[in-house]
Structure 1
Amino acid sequence: MTTVETSAPTGPEPPPPVRDWPACDLDGTGFDPVLAQLMREGPLTRIRLPFGEGWAWLATRYQDVKLITNDPRFGRADVTRRQVTRLAPNFAPRPGSLAWTDQPDHNRLRKAVAGAFTVSAMKRLRPRAQRILDELVDGIVRDGPPADLVERVLEPFPLTVVSEVMGVPPADREQVHFWTRRIISTSGGAEAAEQAKTGLYGWIRTIVRARAHSIPGKDGEDVYTLLGAAVTRGEISEEEAVGLAGPLQIGGEAVTHNCGQMLYLLLTRPELMRRMRDRPEARGPVYDELLRYIPHRSTVGLARIALEDVEIAGHRIAEGEPVYVSYLAANRDPDVFPDPDGIHPDRDPNPHLAFGNGPHFCTGAVLARLQTEVLVGTLLDRLPGLRLAVPADEVRWRHQTMIRGPRTLPVTW
């Protein structure tokens, strides 16, 4: 982490130095050392990421992260008109993307798909999700050990479940998965990511048009049916429907890699594995603690722009300046989580921010939680004596990616 020249003071306190934050290729579940250093420097620092232009504020303290993510003085829409410093090499936000909309458009767009992600909808989905997973685990049991959990379960299960929720025809699912993996990877560069986005969003446009005259309830409650109907009713535009669906379709990748990290922790911490096996009826708090603990992503997610001058942590964030929050850092705030770098399975309370906060709280949070519980719980129940098939330091991890996780997870039982 290097220091670059800073601008003149603009607030009550001299602004902190701008720190370069490279996208480190980190193996294992260790916390990003650059982020740890930034947290030590203060609750509000300034960063420069590998792509885009200029610098941005970074908030790492729990209370500041919650304030910024739930405060209308910070907006997302203006980011789409600027080259804010960022991790992704390619930046081409689309109309309709929930991630880049502010109120009242955000609620209007979210309403179009909300019916597919309700608690009751997830309860109806759970038996189908369990059957999908059981079929995958049946194949593992039939073939016998060893097995790569990423290849056999962690990738195909979330893909299939998300495709069920979205309404992707089975014949198209392999192609859709290829596109989503290419989009979240940083290894192929801007051209490869843009080609994948063109392919995925073109396919989404076609399927939304095909579902234009579907009737939700009669023809299903999948996302593409809901979007097609909303376009027909004039509630959203076709362009907005396409932009809305893309990030939801990509969401399965996060479950793959989050669960990969959780299982790696269970497989390398015997006391944690025993806790899960000995008290299967009380696994819920463990999932929450692991969600708080795992380093979900590289660097930070999406920026916001200050829509007016705001003072936070003794610094003035001027109107027009970009701001990032780190949920990973907030989840390690010692003022909220005692011994934040330790894993405490029965931590209570545990108000983690793994799914975000405020209006941009993850649309698919209930779906992600369902998949996590079904996936991890089933593997522990059906594969007795589950353990790594290689030494822990030989597990290969994903590099040049925005979402961290194991590339392979070889196990035996």
Structure 2
Amino acid sequence: MTEETTTTFTGQAPPPVRDWPVPDLDGTVFDPVLAELMREGPLTRIRLPYGEGWAWLATRHEDVRLITNDPRFGRAGVTTRQVTRTAPHFEPRRGSLAWADPPDHDRLRKPVAGAFTVAAMKRMRPRARRMLDALVDGVVADGPPADLVERVLEPFPVAVVSEVMGVPAADREQVHAWTRQILSTSGGAEAAERGLDGWIRDTVRARAAGTGDDVYSLLGAAVARGEIGEEEAVGLAGPLQTGGEAVTHICGQLLYLLLTRPELMERALDAERRVPLLDELLRHIPHRSGVGPARIALEDVDLHGVRIAEGDPVYVSYLAANRDPDVFPDPDRIDPDREPNPHLAFGNGPHFCTGAVLARLQTELLVDTLLRRLPGLRLAVPAEEVRWRRRTMIRGPQALPCRWD
């Protein structure tokens, strides 16, 4: 694949290749490079900071839905070649849902699906609330000010995910350190992945005869029955284990918006009107830097006068799709009464987020508990002094110093 051999099927020149440096951004600012790419057309071509070559980028809601649910585009092919990418490290694992295509994807997802159903999350809710209340008890006892990222937003999702996965209390701090490093783009992720992989492998082996409903017991039993291999179990568990990190920083952005936009905070204080607001904030929040995993075109696909050739890498941007003006009128405005709101914050198609129900559960509990138990919640520093994470794939505040009445 070269720039010279790529043409549109209408005979026109292909769009130019745009360098996308994926800058560190403060607050909930939308990436200006991505905004420019959206204006240039439904399909553009990008070169990211790492990897090789260029890739197509789809930004329209309709196209993102098509590509993510179309068997003509697959992820498995990305594991055998270098493509342009956001992160410096790239070591796809056999068994990882992120790189599997149907029907293999369905086989791999089946052993863990039961741990993330709506019914399972309903059973989890009382335990999650108790864990959260215990954390907030400590915050209330110590009094303001408090960094809510350090005291609540980090430990709560990690504790919940660890509970669902079946991580022993003694191992949670180490597992959390590994997952945090894996999601960083500052280096050291390979060593963290090796450490986490080894721990998962030992845990799955130890639970081969287990009958529990935690993820590691389910994986251990599935390996023992021969439904999946041990390395596939490791590849399955790793991304699931990092889910707590995503909730931490998505909720950090969400709370930052509430704390800096009085009209949103007023709406959030009304429990009966809160759910549509949270859904709209999930649409609006730029939860990641750059793009997620690529796909490979498995045959020639004609789209918008462009021929995506067999073998071309293709990215979709859920962030851009969530700002598509054809689907979301006045897309940059936060509209708590937006209806309908078919946002793609949790993905689409076979790779729809496994932990979406769990993430929603945690988000709703966090907002409800913090606003109820910390009346008059507000930032303890000017909004411009809030520090934001750097060199990371998931955006969010590094700290949220707050006071309350």
TM class, shorter-length: over 0.9
Per-residue CA deviations over 1:48-68 (Å, capped at 9, x if unaligned) read 001100000000000000000
Deviation of 1:72 (Å): 0.1
What is aligned with 1:34? 33
Identify if the C-alpha distance between structure 1 residues 151 and 333 changes in structure 2 by more than 3 Å, giving closer, same or farther: same
- Percentage identity across paired residues of the two chains: 78
Residue 6 of structure 1 deviates from its aligned partner by: 4.2
- Relative to the length of structure 2, the TM-score reads 0.98
Of the three residues 190, 197, 214, the one matched with 1:194 is 190
Does residue 309 of the first structure (1) align with residue 297 of the second (2)?
Answer: no
* Structural RMSD (CA): 0.9
Aligned to 2:227: 235
Per the alignment, residue 400 of structure 1 pairs with 391
Question: Is the Cα contact below 8 Å between 1:10 and 1:318 reproduced in 2?
Answer: no
For 2:338, the equivalent position in structure 1 comes to 347
Task: Tell whether 2:288 aligns with 1:297.
Answer: yes
The 1-side partners of 2:267 and 2:144 are apart by: 24
User: How far apart, CA to CA, are the structure 2 residues paired with 1:375 and 1:242?
Assistant: 30
1:272 maps to what in 2? 264
* Residue type at the aligned position of 1:258: I
Superposition map of 1:8-407 within 5 A? 8-12=5-9, 13-187=12-186, 189=187, 192-215=188-211, 220-277=212-269, 279-407=270-398
Distance in 1 of aligned mates of 2:93 and 2:191: 15
Whichever residue aligns with residue 236 of structure 1, its letter is I
Per-residue CA shift, 1:192-237, capped at 9, x if unaligned? 111000000000000000000112xxxx210000000000010000
Deviation of 1:305 (Å):
0.1
User: TM-score of the superposition, structure 1-length normalised?
Assistant: 0.96
Secondary structure at the counterpart of residue 334 of structure 2: coil
Cα deviation, 1:243-298, whole Å, max 9, x if unaligned, reads 00000001110000000000000000000000111x21221101110000000100
Per-residue Cα deviation, 1:357-377 (whole angstroms, up to 9, x for no partner): 000000000000000000111
Count of equivalent residues: 401
Tell me the distance in 1 between the aligned counterparts of 2:86 and 2:3: 21
Which residue identity lines up with residue 199 of structure 2 in the other structure? Answer: W
* Whole-angstrom distance in 1 between the partners of 2:178 and 2:373: 32
What is the Cα deviation at residue 11 of structure 1? 2.3
Alignment check: 8 A CA contact 1:387 1:411 kept: yes
Distance 1:317 1:335 in 2: 23
CA distance in 2, matches of 1:9, 1:71: 22
Q: What amino acid is aligned across from residue 363 of structure 2 in structure 1?
A: T
Amino acid of the residue matched to residue 200 of structure 1? Answer: L
Segments of structure 1 that go 5 or more residues without pairing to the other structure are none
The residue type equivalent to 1:63 in the other structure is E
SS in 1 for 2:359: helix
For 1:9 and 1:163, the matched residues in 2 are separated by: 47
Q: Is the 8 A contact 1:23 1:400 kept in 2?
A: no
- Aligned pair 1:7/2:4, yes or no? yes
Structure 1 position 7, deviation (Å): 2.6
Which blocks of at least 5 consecutive residues in structure 2 are unaligned? none
Aligned letter for 2:387?
R
